[in-house]
A and B are shown apart, each in its own frame.
Chain A
């Protein structure tokens, strides 16, 4: 009897978990179902049901007209540049703040920390003004330049982690006459891999999803990124759900792949970023 009661409890528990999971996953599945149907079926009575046959016309329309492939390429280019720069320069700065001695270090670091308080939107107008003065609007540079030299948040995360690495390893390396550069590349980077991957993921997701800044700083087709083009598509074809859903999925799929590949790492890295506060 007790065993039966426990089994019932488990069944109810996992049933709850599954129902909640459905809520979190359903929008993706529904969007996929909608994107795999012709317009008539999506505007019909039950567009969210499983499609009878796989209709790829929406994806073909999206990908082969309207420069969508170009936007995908633009987004990838800008995001990869942003991620690479932010990680490289961020690691350098984090190493200096965590492991080097120099006058004014802690004061400078508190300036970095203080900038975390500044909401993004406060710097939008002046950043746009700067980009205009430099004649950089409507260039790839403008999209990633403000973020490519390292952001205080990822520098902070990596610095905390680098500080927690065992000090005697570094002391031993210095006694052996290793240069700072060598210590960084041979010791800190291998030992700090988890946090560096975290920083890279944060940078990539930020770059891929960034919308407001590219919206402001580009207004031509040639540099447009996915988020901006999806928003434009949505307002132009607001009732052609089959097309805008397909476009949205094109933007979502790379992140889904990354999530599937790095799921454990992502979960752990989010927790790292919270615990290291």
Chain B
């Protein structure tokens, strides 16, 4: 026992210099903040005056506050405009490029390109393209005789327009994961299916899609978590408007904390968002675990 302790201590002594910086980082900037945010959610505070104990009142007000529910609703709509289209685009691109032909690497690079762009800068460019009077989209629509709406200024089109920017930016990035997943599927499976008379559509739904389940889970989980936290493009393109049409939860948390200086409410809201994301992530794992019955490596 003694000996084991001493060996453990010696191993620690070796490991500590390697671990120390990241341990300090994780503790100070991730774990301690989690405790602080939970504590702050029980106070009323404006960053300046001494905080007042508020008990659970921040949470109680939140459940009665239409703003918070509206923000969650808007966020959910945003996710629905973002994730399905983006994932289908990515899958489609991967299907197109998953073959052995010349120059496909070049096209793959062009499709991934938007992933490398600064969201704030691209939101500016897209604001210009979506602009009601001088935007390219409405100009193109006019060529076929359609008067386009003021995309970012109308409550019905602002949210989908902002979501389209994410779809544009991340479709190619997600395509890479699907391509990698498709390349691990043994060609023999397709050959056998062809011999049995399965056409390309059937082969896709019976072989490719089931075997892509782990990839799909990874892509959906990471994308949904990111999508729930959309901020940059909303801040630049719409500031939550028009009205509150794009007032997503992350924007609401930001403005509650740093424009209204209502620290307690913002803390409670961010914990609510944490909970919502946790539940949805858990649900996705459950859904895919029940469907992934075999693995091919």
A binding-site residues for B, Cβ under 8 Å? 10, 13-14, 16-18, 20-21, 23-25, 27-28, 30-31, 34, 42-43, 46-48, 89-90, 92-93, 95-96, 100-103, 105, 108, 111-112, 115, 117-130, 132, 145-152, 155, 180, 184, 205, 208-209, 211-212, 215-216, 226-227, 230-231, 234-235, 241, 244-245, 247-249, 251-252, 255-256, 258-259, 263, 266-267, 270-271, 274-275, 277
Contacts and interface: CB of A to CB of B under 8 A. Distances in A.
B124 A230 contact: yes
Interface in B33-49: 33-34, 36-37, 40, 47
B53 interface: no
Given A100-B18, A126-B40, A130-B33, A117 B278 contact: yes
Interface string B113-134: 1111111111011111101001
28 contacts: A18-B107, A21-B111, A34-B128, A93-B18, A96-B19, A105-B15, A112-B22, A117-B278, A121-B250, A121-B253, A121-B254, A122-B274, A125-B253, A126-B267, A127-B33, A129-B40, A145-B29, A149-B22, A184-B18, A209-B120, A227-B118, A231-B120, A234-B236, A241-B134, A248-B124, A249-B121, A252-B117, A274-B176
Given A103-B11, A121-B273, A123-B29, A17 B107 contact: yes
B180 A274 contact: yes
Contacts of A184: 18
Q: Which 6 A-B pairs have the closest CB atoms?
A: A149-B25, A126-B36, A126-B33, A248-B121, A93-B22, A150-B22
Interface stretch (B65-73, B76-84, B154-162, B226-234): B226-234
Given A127-B33, A231-B120, 5 more contacts: A21-B111, A24-B113, A121-B253, A241-B131, A251-B118
Contacts of B253: 121, 124-125
